Amino acid sequence: MTDTSVVHQEFLTVDQLQIAPSRRHREVVIRYILLVTALVSVLVSTLIVWSLVREAWTFITGVVWADTWGQPGWFPRRGLYDIPTIVVASLIVTGIAMVVAGPLGLGAAVYLSEYANRRVRSWLKPALEILAGIPSVVLGFFALTWIAPNIVGRIGKTTFLVLGAVILIGYAAISAVIARSKIKQYREGTTDPSARIGAVASIATLVVVFALALAWILNVWLEFAPNNAGSLTAAGIGVGILTIPLVASISEDAMAAVPDSLRQASAGLGARKRTTATTVVLPAAISGIVAAFIVAVSRAIGETMVVFMAAGAADAARWTDNPFEGGLTMTAAMASLASGTDSVVGEGLTFQSLYFVGLLLFLTTLSLNIIASRFVAKVREVY
């Protein structure tokens, strides 16, 4: 007969389950430290926006708005604040930059994601990212001393016309596809008047934009005069080179996030790699690709040193819509005036115009980020 022993089990008490007071105090301290850091970030952002709005409001309320449109150009020291001069120059530089960075960056992303093997990818992607580490002042000097005379200076009228025709043909093809879908929706789809009005307005907008682009290209072609000393085109190419790694990196990350099961299913149906990349991977990663382009546009609009050095203008510029002439973007206008702050303070609203341009830049990039976030949230695919 064996003896049975009773095993006494001790149960945990409420006091034993409680966190030690010293540990609880440390957690509270860390929590408040992190809260303070977050509030400091918010405070700094608020102060920056407040300083912009305060000085920009002085400009808004003090300037004669009739003098901000239709003037010979942007001459703030003379009291001429032609806003379209710097806005159009910024749009031209950004457009050229995206023409350079868009195809090259997206092509590099497709190759790295779909075609490159592990060995090639291991050195090609870091080499591409090194391009993003080049200081913008170095790239601006390169754009001024090499791109301007050797690329822009040698582009003839015929070459420019051919490039413009290629861009217009591509735009017309995309517009035709969009218009066809809109017409199909108009005929078959809905009876909602607002949807029908939206379809008509979309097609009309595409046609108007095509006509304006055609008129602009013909006007520039007739007035073609390359400027080897610096131009908006040279600045745009420089900014495009600077933006290629951004487009490539974000787009490649978006395509890498597409599940391999989609690629395998496409291959199982007999599709080639090219077909899989263009009809399966790219549509599945469209939200990330569009986000990459919008971030790149924001980066191009906000670039300073490249356009400051390579755009071919000083602290003032005449109105021009010719990309082969010198011009002044919004960021370059701020940089050129801020370099002479001591003499700017006493020149009427010249100093306040810096803050107004800064506020305009802030609102532009903020709008782009909001559009990007909403678009990504709308079309994002979750696998």
The tens place of each residue's pLDDT in the chain, 383 residues long, gives: 445 444 455 666 666 666 667 777 788 888 899 999 999 989 998 998 898 888 888 888 888 887 788 788 888 878 788 888 999 999 999 999 998 999 999 999 999 888 888 888 888 888 887 887 888 888 888 888 888 888 887 777 778 888 888 888 888 888 888 887 777 766 665 556 666 777 777 788 888 888 888 888 888 877 777 666 778 888 999 999 999 999 998 898 888 888 888 888 888 888 888 888 888 888 888 888 888 898 899 889 988 888 988 887 677 788 888 888 888 889 888 887 766 555 555 567 777 888 889 899 988 888 888 887 787 777 666 65
Cα-based angle 200, 217, 149 (whole degrees, multiple of 5): 145
Rg of the chain over all Cα atoms, to the nearest angstrom: 28
Close Cβ partners of 24 (under 8 Å, ≥ 6 residues apart): none
For the chain, domain boundaries: 7-62, 65-155+228-379, 156-225
| 65-155+228-379 classified as CATH 3.40.50.800 | no
Q: Is 167 helix (H, G, I), strand (E, B) or coil?
A: helix
One-letter amino acid at 246 equals L
C-alpha–C-alpha distance, residues 148 and 297, integer Å: 22
